[in-house]
Amino acid sequence: MTNDYLIKAVCYGGQIRAIACDARELIKEAATRHQTNDAATKVLGKTLIGSLMLGVATLMPRSEEALTVKLRGNGTAGLVLADVTPEGFVKGYIKNKDVTDEASALGTDGILSVIKDIGMREPFTGQVPMVSSEVSANFTYYLASSEQIPSAVGIDIEEGTAFMLQVMPGASEETITKIEEKLKAKPKGTPEEILESLCDDVKILETQPIGFKCDCSKDKFSQALVAVGKDELIAMIEEDDGAETVCQFCENKYHFTGDELVDILRAAK
């Protein structure tokens, strides 16, 4: 059972929609599974948390909807990807874990893509150019540019906390100015304390658990092996008498014996 959690709130009499979270265990779980160094943990962790807050803010609760975020810059990390469910679970990976710092990992040029599967014939895809080598700034720009919602996103990997503030239609300039001033002092503490330090009249609407969770299974990988084709399966059986698959999202490994591959081969015919 995770101790990580997220709160949804409104502030300033509904002028501001706010989310804040404690994701320390999520960050630790992702770093442990992917064996990332400090720099890669920072990039992956920020992407996971930013994606999680975006998903919780936009996906329909208790639905089959899903959200995928892809950060692909010209830096050393290559692709950084996160998948989010409405329940507050996220999984993801960084393609190249051998990075030295966040700035060089993302680079200075690239694309942030957000893919929302809401059960329609085609998923919605929004793309914006990267505007920074800092993950949080790219999420802020995406919300303002693609979603047309002026926002502020802050993610503190060392503290394991994050926040997202969104300006609602009709918000006063006075309210916006107050928040801009408060954002200059980097907020710390619990999610509740973070929102209290950034906003006035905070009304918490919901609290929910969050965490790193992958839905991979041996059965899903067996279905994927069917798709590799008859010749590849025969080669695995004759040359290796088995196969091992690895989930790129969580690093779980699934071993298939030669006999199991024979059963998969029969099912593929």
Domains contained in the chain, CATH given: 5-212 (3.55.30.10), 218-268 (3.90.1280.10)
Cα 172 to chain centroid, rounded? 31
Mean pLDDT to the nearest integer, 160-185: 94
* Mean pLDDT of the residues in the chain: 93
Mean pLDDT to the nearest integer, 75-79: 96
Cα 232 to chain centroid, rounded? 33
Mean pLDDT to the nearest integer, 34-60: 95
Which residues, including other chains, have CB under 8 Å from residue 238's CB and lie 6 or more apart? none
Q: Which of 37-41, 59-63, 95-99 has the lowest mean pLDDT?
A: 59-63
Quick count: other Cβ atoms within 10 Å of Cβ 259?
A: 11
pLDDT beyond 80 at 82: yes
Q: Which of 4-8, 100-104, 200-204 has the lowest mean pLDDT?
A: 100-104
Pairwise CA distance, residues 211 & 209, whole Å:
7
In this prediction, residue 255 has a pLDDT band, given cuts at 50, 70 and 90, of very high
- pLDDT value, residue 269: 66
- pLDDT value, residue 60: 81
Quick count: other Cβ atoms within 10 Å of Cβ 243?
A: 21
Mean pLDDT to the nearest integer, 245-261: 94
Output the pTM of the full model: 0.93
- pLDDT value, residue 1: 61
Pairwise CA distance, residues 2 & 71, whole Å:
27
Strand pairing of 242-246 and 66-73? unpaired
- pLDDT value, residue 266: 84
Query: Do the beta carbons of residue 77 and residue 43 sit within 8 Å?
Result: yes
pLDDT digits (tens, 9 = 90+) for 221-244: 998 888 888 888 888 888 888 899
- pLDDT value, residue 64: 84
In this prediction, residue 2 has a pLDDT band, given cuts at 50, 70 and 90, of confident
pLDDT digits (tens, 9 = 90+) for 92-144: 999 999 999 988 999 989 999 999 987 777 888 999 999 999 999 999 999 99
Higher-pLDDT residue of 121, 41: 41
Question: Tokens in use for 106?
Answer: 């993302």
